[in-house]
Amino acid sequence: MLKGLNLVIDYIEDHLTVELSLEEISKYAGVSDFHFRKIFFYLSGLTISEYIKNRKLSEANKDLLHGEKVTDVAFKYGYQSVDGFSRAFKNWSGFLPSDVIKKGVSKSFPKLSFKITVKGGNNMEYRIEKKPAFHLVGVSKRVPMQFEGINNEIVKLSESITDKQKEEMHSLQNIKPYEIVNASYDADANFIKEEGDLTHLIGVLTTKNEVSDLLEKVPVEAYTWAIFPNEGPFPSTLQETMAKTYSEWLPSSDYELINAPAFSFTKMDEQKKDYAYSEVWIPVRKK
């Protein structure tokens, strides 16, 4: 996986002045677009679009220092106008492109390189399970992609579930984990965009086929699952577990991701406020 990530970085570097090819980036990444976005974000702390923007503006800074005109540099890196480039450059650097030419001020953002760093002292608990094919059944909607904080659209989705939908989900539930799960899938294909949506489903796991029109049914094939239990303040502990799963465990494990819905569940502690036990389930296969 790290080799694939570094190939993506090299590809971006070679195409900073042309339109980036989503197909090529996806090929180098070796995982689905959504999983790649998550891995990249958790490893670098940046979205892929933020990284590309920073690299373009860093190279633009170099070109301005070398005497190239602001107009030429703006169009070279894909901006439609000089004003748009100047605003982006100032937001990034704190000064105008003309200041680089006149005063020689400079800011840089170096190319990334991904490496495995072995960190001692913190064991990550996980288990591997094989599951037969099942259906994710529940209520779903398109929501903005968000890797940190509370997603308000998911909160609204949860609040919209009716008593009839809850009753049917309860009657269908017949496979572990016997919990209400949150699953994400079908992310927007173009992860070069600053924003994107995905489908989020709140529901249960079932092997039953008869589902009413009140609920969405998503088939999931028989897979091996890596499961990461966690307990602590919610939602920060759950999100930290997701981050470590993608940034620490996955790159150093013998497994790779499968392009299928991942899901999690959370059981709030009735005695402690904003404290919960959660599990993250991701579909994997041996490399």
What is the spatial distance between Cα 77 and Cα 147, in angstroms, rounded to a whole number?
28
Alpha-carbon distance 286 to 223, whole Å? 11
Whether pLDDT at 30 is above 90: no
User: Is residue 170 predicted with pLDDT exceeding 80?
Assistant: yes
* Mean pLDDT across 62-86: 94
Contacts of 179 (CB under 8 A, 6+ apart): 204, 265, 267
Q: Which residues pair with 139 in a beta bridge?
A: 202
Average pLDDT estimate for 148-159: 87
Round the average pLDDT of the chain to a whole number and report it: 86
Q: How confident is the model at residue 256 (pLDDT cuts 50, 70, 90)?
A: confident
- Packing angle of the helix pair 33-44, 48-65 (nearest 10 deg): 60
Distance between CA atoms of residues 100 and 242, nearest Å: 41
Rounded Cα–Cα distance for residues 220 and 209 (Å): 12
Residue 119's pLDDT is what? Answer: 47
pLDDT at residue number 28: 67
The residue ranking higher by pLDDT, 8 or 138, is 138
What average pLDDT does the segment 72-78 reach? 94
Question: Tokens 């920060």 correspond to what residue?
Answer: 236
Tell whether the model's pLDDT for residue 128 goes beyond 80. Answer: yes
What pTM did the predictor assign? 0.70
At 112, the pLDDT band (50, 70, 90 cuts) reads confident
The pLDDT of 66-75, averaged and rounded, is 94
Angle between helices 22-29 and 33-44 (to 10 degrees): 70
On the question of pLDDT at 131 being above 70, the answer is yes
Structure confidence at residue 118 (pLDDT) = 45
Total number of residues shown for the chain: 287
Q: Return contacts of 168-172, CB within 8 angstroms, 24+ apart.
A: 168/211, 168/212, 168/214, 168/215, 169/137, 169/138, 169/203, 169/204, 169/215, 170/204, 172/137, 172/204, 172/206, 172/208, 172/211, 172/215
Question: According to the model, what pLDDT value does residue 271 have?
Answer: 87
For the segment 38-52, what is each residue's pLDDT rounded down to a tens digit?
Answer: 778 877 878 888 888
Question: For the domain bounded by 127-286, which CATH number is listed?
Answer: 3.20.80.10
- pLDDT, position 254: 86
88: pLDDT strictly greater than 70: yes
Q: What is the mean pLDDT of residues 16-23?
A: 76
CA distance 61 to 58: 5
Structure tokens at 9: 């970085």
Which of 143-147, 193-197, 199-203 bottoms out in mean pLDDT, i.e. has the lowest?
A: 193-197
Rounded percentage of the chain residues whose pLDDT exceeds 70: 88
Please report, for the chain, the start and end positions of each structural domain, with discontinuous segments joined by +: 2-103, 127-286
The verdict on domain 2-103 having CATH code 2.60.40.730 is no
**Distance, CA of 281 to CA of 98 (rounded, Å):** 51
